[in-house]
Amino acid sequence: MRAGDREGAPAKIRAVDEGVPADLWRRVHPLSPVISAWKALLALLAFITYQNLDQVRGLLDTDLAHSFGLRAILLGAFGGVIVFVLIAGLYSWLAWQRTSYAVTATAVWFRSGILARSQRHARLDRIQTLDIHHPLLGRIFGLGRLTIEVAGGSDSNFAIGFLKTAELEELRAEVLARAAGLDPDAPREDASAVASERAPIPVAPERVVYTVPVGRLLASLVMSMGILASVLLALGVVIGAIALTAIFGPGVLSSLFSLVFIIGGVASYLWGRFAGEFNFTAAVSPDGIRIRSGLTSTRAQTIPPGRVHAVTVIQPLLWRIKGWYRVTITQAGVGSPIGREEGAHPQSLSVLLPVGGRADAEYALWLVVRDLGVDDPQAFIEALLDGTGEGQGFVPVPESAGILDPLARARRAHALSRTCLAVRDGWMTRTSLLVPVERAQSLSVSQGPLERRRGLADVEVEIVPGEHRPIARHVDAVIARRLLADLRVASRVRRSAEPPEKWMLRVSRALPDEPESPQPPATDDPGADAPDGGALIGGALPPGAGTAQAGGIAGQDSAR
């Protein structure tokens, strides 16, 4: 019975304390409230100072201020700052006392709040990604946060922290181990050990698959059409402002002040993309795909197997000169406001490959797509990424769609394999989207007035929200109805018959042992003799195609 309770009365338990034993709760680092709120505290202090600046100036001109003297006034101001710091420190201490987290066999729990307390939890089987983030101030103290992205929308995501880097790694390993069915709290098998001693948490090893050089990242930003147009617009604004100033005088600059925000927006976007995707590295481990990136703040993301709902390969017009591609993924709940508040670029949160060659793009596809469901995966990939018209199962838009697709008609097409829906689109910027049919949440067919007149329809596969929507546009109406029926059957069959993927078993079979020298290791796989720059053929990438060799799409458990 708790102290203060009446004899025989039940103990009072707050709602936020239910569900988890008291001995499982752990505290975050004492500096967590300070690191979380330092920006807000500085902004508040600056706001208070700015709003009362005129009053302070008026007070300094009074006889009372002159009677006290400058020294007394400075001491008073210093005392005010000390009081402000003490109040902030007290708030931080109270916030730290009320912030804790716990990991159980079924969920991760987090509670916080001083007056209004809240408790949130993420079921282990609903976790989409685990993201370790070190903001700039956190890196100075060696502290970071673990952001848990959950299937269920961005409102269901939360961040635990701040914790030391070693504790973050251990916490991530513990969550992933429990999600995989392991019990880190199980007693050691060694009879000499204490029975209650906790077994060490297994930290999964990793293998680097590819990295993105800084020079290539910078060049890709320069060669992106949208960014290039924005830079040219900003340069035009600057040149125009200089010309107008020379003609009409400096007075015209006041009317052009709003254009500064355009230049600032372009610069902010460029910096966000560069800083968010700096030093990008993708690796594989038994617990999933691990992604690391960041300049001023770093991000280490772990994507458990089977959590990707769609993958998109993008190739802007100028990138075709270098043969570069960009790969993004769609996941449930990823891209929450938590990550954006911590400085991560919104697009960087869903990037699997910022920029890379053909082999790197196929590496990225291979990591998340288990089986393309076609007899000739290599030819299918060629048709998906670079093809036009029909071939390899792709159905292009009919001639009646010419007026609606005057430029993209040759590229626009769709294909339904045994396992995936592939949508090919784009004219200046090519997009190629793959959706495993078992990920479909609903299917729909829509027609606009012009589409009805020309016998066309759009077929959409509803999945979790993402940057790109899987829509086969301007399909012949008869083919659209047939596609919808085939998608329903394929989706139902795959959901009922799909066994749990042994993801790391597939990956480890295709990844050879790490060589002791920079030379690629020898392999008996017939695809290893493919020419440099080739694609994923016969279960191996060509030597020199990336930072590591990997198995190809053609060897991905296509025979089940």
With vertex at residue 127, the alpha carbon angle to CA 293 and CA 187, rounded to the nearest 5 degrees, is 100
Considering the domain boundaries, does residue 364 fall inside one? yes
Q: Judge if 423 and 479 occupy the same domain.
A: yes
Q: Judge if 362 and 421 occupy the same domain.
A: no
Q: Judge if 404 and 515 occupy the same domain.
A: no
Q: What is the CATH number of the domain that holds 425?
A: 2.30.29.30
Q: Could you report the per-residue pLDDT of 449-464, keeping only the tens digit for each? A: 999 999 999 999 999 8
Quote the pLDDT of residue 201: 65
Q: Could you report the per-residue pLDDT of 389-445, keeping only the tens digit for each? A: 888 999 999 999 888 888 888 899 999 999 999 999 998 899 999 999 988 999 999
Q: Which of the listed residues 329, 344, 368 is the one where a domain comes to its end?
A: 368
Q: Judge if 165 and 249 occupy the same domain.
A: yes
CA separation for the pair 110, 544 (Å, rounded): 46
Considering the domain boundaries, does residue 435 fall inside one? yes
The secondary element (H helix, E strand) that includes residue 227 is: helix 225-248
Q: Which of the listed residues 79, 97, 115 is the one where a domain comes to its end?
A: 97
The secondary element (H helix, E strand) that includes residue 459 is: strand 456-462
Please say whether the beta carbons of 295 and 275 come within 8 A.
yes
Q: Judge if 417 and 513 occupy the same domain.
A: no
Q: Judge if 413 and 379 occupy the same domain.
A: yes
Q: Judge if 414 and 485 occupy the same domain.
A: yes
- Total count of residues recorded for the chain: 560
Domain range spanning residue 212?
A: 105-185+204-368
Rounded to an integer, the average pLDDT of 183-191 is 56
CA separation for the pair 420, 373 (Å, rounded): 7
246 — pLDDT class (breaks 50, 70, 90):
confident
Domain count, the chain: 4
Q: Judge if 413 and 351 occupy the same domain.
A: no
58 — pLDDT class (breaks 50, 70, 90):
low
Query: Rounded to the nearest 5°, which phi and psi values hold at 129?
Result: -145, 155
Q: Which of the listed residues 498, 523, 539 is the one where a domain comes to its end?
A: 498
Q: Judge if 347 and 479 occupy the same domain.
A: no
pLDDT at 551 over 60: no
Rounded to an integer, the average pLDDT of 120-128 is 85
Q: Judge if 489 and 522 occupy the same domain.
A: no
Considering the domain boundaries, does residue 15 fall inside one? no
Quote the pLDDT of residue 327: 96
pLDDT at 247 over 50: yes
Considering the domain boundaries, does residue 481 fall inside one? yes
Q: Judge if 169 and 254 occupy the same domain.
A: yes
Mean pLDDT value across the chain: 76
- Kindly report each contact of residues 227-233 with a partner whose C-beta sits within 8 Å and lies 24 or more positions away, as own/partner: 227/266, 227/269, 227/270, 227/273, 228/318, 230/266, 230/269, 231/266, 231/270, 233/262, 233/266
Considering the domain boundaries, does residue 336 fall inside one? yes
Q: Could you report the per-residue pLDDT of 304-363, keeping only the tens digit for each? A: 767 889 999 999 999 999 999 999 999 876 654 444 444 455 556 789 999 999 999 998
Q: Judge if 249 and 330 occupy the same domain.
A: yes
Segment of 249-258, 294-303, 536-545 carrying the highest mean pLDDT:
294-303
